[in-house]
Amino acid sequence: MDWNFETTYTRLPGQFFCRIDPVAVASPQMVLLNRDLAEELGLDPDWLRQPEGAWMLSGNQREPSSEPIAQAYAGHQFGHFAMLGDGRAHLLGELRAPDGRRVDIQLKGSGPTPFSRRGDGRAALGPMLREYLIGEAMHGLGIPTTRALAVVATGERVFREQALPGAVLSRVAASHIRVGTFAYAAALDSGLDLMVHASQGADDPSVATAGQDDGLLTRALADYTIDRHYPELADSPDRYMELFHAVMERQASLVAQWMRVGFIHGVMNTDNMTLSGETIDYGPCAFMDQYDPATVFSSIDRQGRYAFGNQAKIAQWNLARLLETLLPLLHDDRDTALARAQEAIAHFPALFTGRWHAVMRTKLGLGNEEPGDAELIDDLLQWMQDQGADYTNTFRELAGEAGAATPGQLNPAFADPGLAAWHARWQERLGRQDGDIAAAIHRMRGANPAVIPRNHRVEQALDAAVREGDLDPALQLLEVLADPYDTRLDTSDYRQPPGPEQHVYQTFCGT
């Protein structure tokens, strides 16, 4: 099978990458292959299921058109700057899909690189399966995301707290250009001064400036990013500011969509925010059960920096870091550039609020906007928090209440006296818009999933796969998550929130 890889990323200056081959593994065996994604990319899934496919997607065999590289980047990790890079990943190349899309094919867990920082360059089977599962769940939910093409077992053990079976994941992304890639370029351009200054304001969303630089590497990266993701901006005289606004639009929409389904990324460092607007890195992520904006699952997020309700604020902070890298490109006069940047980032709160209210109106079946909508939304969320109500099930079940004369007419769960007044306001609001109740219910069913990857269900599937070699629970979960808004399948078992003994749940940075 001919992949016809290209690697346009290597047209950037050599500081952005190093050429290095994956390190061969002992005995590659295909564990999971994403047949639908393979076909979307114009690849032959039957060939990929052969031993040759596992050899290639483990890094044991190089496809003739591939020129593997490891990408350099930086990142603000919990607000503090660090020089990073692909420590256990190799970009095999860029594939042109039949629909014209250009995508990266990257191996993860494929061996050490110059960026490994004493790491072994390997990955364990459980976290790679987790990234596959959650990526496909997000795709099914209609949220922009990287996806996994395959998980290949290596036949080797990796050593973390214990010895674990190893695996390599092949990740498909629109690109792997991150805010951290721009931070890396600006660090080289400015001698790290700007990045260190930003680290000292780990909670400040404003734009800072420090030192002098010519921005040559940043300009090269920005031009490449525009060509790759925003070609409509190429001829604009103010293309770098327009690039920022385009990225800000995508990130505001992305975070609003995360929160629509109760998703908590868990590690929103700047190296995990893409310029394409895709979700990337499914390490300590999880889905909220009971509604609480302070919900945190990540074992390393002890201060709640990346809690559910903080995600928009962190997105703004990350975008401010992006703007800092673009300052030399915004105007020759540094003060003017800074003033433009401050004005630009100040638009984010209103932009995000608009996106958030838009998705929440859809969750409530509302097809138009009225002044009192924000209060209606907030009051329901406050009731849910006070009651410890399940976020996903509450909204899904509200669709059955849309035509009810009184709360609980169809579902006794909504007979709570505290909800009665809100329900009456909501019914009145539904009645003031164009269209009948059927249209409202249709909107609600399209915005509120019946099924999410419940954390306890994900862990059960991973445990069965890793400890017992049983993939059936994972395959069944993938089938349900492929169409999470559909109620034709019997998904009742997958809709149940965890029992009391399963409520204490932590995630770890294993991917």
Active site residues: 271
d(CA 79, CA 76): 5
Q: Which residues make Cβ contacts (< 8 Å) with residue 487, sequence separation at least 6?
A: 445, 450
Main-chain dihedrals φ then ψ at residue 207, nearest 5 degrees? -95, 135
Q: Which two tokens stand for residue 230?
A: 């925003």
The strand ranges marked E within 220-322 are: 263-264, 286-287
Longest CA–CA separation in the chain, Å: 68
In terms of DSSP bridges, do strands 147-159 and 29-33 run parallel, antiparallel, or are they unpaired?
Answer: antiparallel
Of 255, 81, 108, nearest to 176 by C-alpha is 108
Q: Which two tokens stand for residue 55?
A: 């050899």
d(CA 137, CA 41): 19
> How distant, in Å, are the alpha carbons of 16, 177, 271 from that of 274?
16, 6, 8
The number of C-alpha atoms within 13 Å of 274 and in the hemisphere containing its C-beta is 18
What is the distance between the terminal CA atoms of the chain, rounded to a whole angstrom?
29
Single-letter amino acid, residue 172: V
Q: How far is CA 338 from the centre of its chain?
A: 29
> How distant, in Å, are the alpha carbons of 256, 437, 441 from that of 482?
21, 27, 21
d(CA 466, CA 454): 18
d(CA 306, CA 300): 10
> How distant, in Å, are the alpha carbons of 180, 305, 330, 399 from that of 275?
10, 22, 18, 35
Q: Give Rg (Cα) of the chain.
A: 23
d(CA 189, CA 209): 13
Could you say which DSSP state residue 92 is in?
Answer: E
d(CA 75, CA 182): 9
Of 41, 37, 62, nearest to 151 by C-alpha is 37
The DSSP code sequence of 338-377 is: HHHHHHHHTTHHHHHHHHHHHHHHHHTT--S--TTHHHHH
d(CA 162, CA 48): 31
Query: Beta-carbon neighbour count of residue 499 at 10 Å?
Result: 8
